[in-house]
Amino acid sequence: MRTIATPLFAGDLHHTALRLAQAQPSGASADATAAWRHMLELGWQGVLVDEESGGAGAELADFAAIVEALATRALSVPIIERCAVAPALLGACDGAVARALLERVARGDASVAPVLHTAPQHPAAQPPTVRGDRLSGTVAAVDWTVPATHVVFDALENTSDAPLLVLLDVAELSSHLRCYVGIDGRTSADIEVAELRVDAPQLLLRGAPAARAIARAQQLGSMLGCVATVGACGAMIEQTVEHLSTRVQFGSPLATFQALRHRVVDMYVAYESARGLVRDQVLAHAHAPDPRQVALTRFYVQGVGRSLADATIQLHGGMGMSQETLAARLAMHALMSALRYGDRSDCLEWLVSGVVEEVAAA
């Protein structure tokens, strides 16, 4: 008995990404540098960049195909951050610095690590502050699985609390980095600065335009995070069915035990429900992003991801299973994806704040 998950958006990009992911060394400690270099050569940083800036100008569904395929192998690369969120932030800016950097990103000559403190990725994350031309504070939880050339993040203007979008060259920050590794094998870094000089061109956006750009980038990251969760969930079901079909207890394959079969059916129904919802929302998001629908979708898919991760671990033998197995890495991938670009508590806060704004405007 074998189960093969149906891709959200089948096609050449999904096939290419899947082959690349399958060719990478397995294991939670595998180095992602070679895989990332290959992705840059394939031009994936430019998939969502408009043609005027040297990118492919592709649809969101095209990029979602890449994200899903990589998630089926629990590949720890900052694909969403560097290839979607960062270009979205830079594309919202009109300045020459942002435009030039976006062109370099599309060519693969530069890689920009984004951090959005308005979608907490760290329990103590607070936006840094800018007073005049000096930056102070901590840029928390930068994805540093592969080093970047630049960091773009939101900050607050000290005198007015107006949001700012700030760009820094990593060459200036080597002495300010503090790195650590998460349970899913990703390396993160905190950048602590005090009175660091920032020139005017490095302040890409301020005020309402910055707030809008940050919100849209966060919603894009949330939507693609749902795609990654769906990809991991489909692969977890494949791994679970294969395990139950080959593992023998009491003289019979585990797949013949009715209680376990029912558990797998519950997993599959939940997966198909999430898959259909995410596919529809990706297509809708590309044309008319709806913050409320993004929050609702993410809230639901995170619950499905956690439920399937728990079931996968249990059906593989419980918490004692090796972290080197693909099933365990997929479960970790699904759980940690739920913490980036807003967890379930953040989704509830966004929904409540949206209702409050609607009532106030009525």
Q: Which CATH number do you get for residue 224?
A: 1.20.140.10
- Per-residue pLDDT tens for 194-221? 999 999 999 999 999 999 999 999 999 9
The answer on 173 and 118 residing in a single domain is yes
pTM of the model: 0.92
The answer on 352 and 327 residing in a single domain is yes
Mean pLDDT of 78-86: 96
The answer on 255 and 190 residing in a single domain is no
Residue 73 has pLDDT above 70, yes or no: yes
Per-residue H/E/C for the chain: CCCCCCCCCCCHHHHHHHHHHHCCCCCCCCCCHHHHHHHHHCCHHHCCCCHHHCCCCCCHHHHHHHHHHHHCCCCCCCHHHHHHHHHHHHHCCCCHHHHHHHHHHHHCCCCEEEECCCCCCCCCCCCCEEECCEEEEEEEEEECCCCCCEEEEEEEECCCCCEEEEEEEHHHCHHHEEEEECCCCCEEEEEEEEEEECCHHHEEEECHHHHHHHHHHHHHHHHHHHHHHHHHHHHHHHHHHHHHHHCEECCEEHHHCHHHHHHHHHHHHHHHHHHHHHHHHHHHHCCCCCHHHHHHHHHHHHHHHHHHHHHHHHHCCCCCCCCCCHHHHHHHHHHHHCCCCCCHHHHHHHHHHHHHHHHHHC
The answer on 325 and 216 residing in a single domain is yes
- Per-residue pLDDT tens for 313-336? 999 887 556 667 899 899 988 888
Mean pLDDT of 105-132: 79
The answer on 163 and 133 residing in a single domain is yes
Mean pLDDT of 109-125: 72
Mean pLDDT of 28-51: 88
Q: What is the pLDDT of residue 123?
A: 43
236 — pLDDT class (breaks 50, 70, 90): very high
Among 149, 180, 207, identify where a domain stops: 207
Among 172, 207, 242, identify where a domain stops: 207
Q: What is the pLDDT of residue 122?
A: 42
Give me the domain span that covers residue 279.
210-361
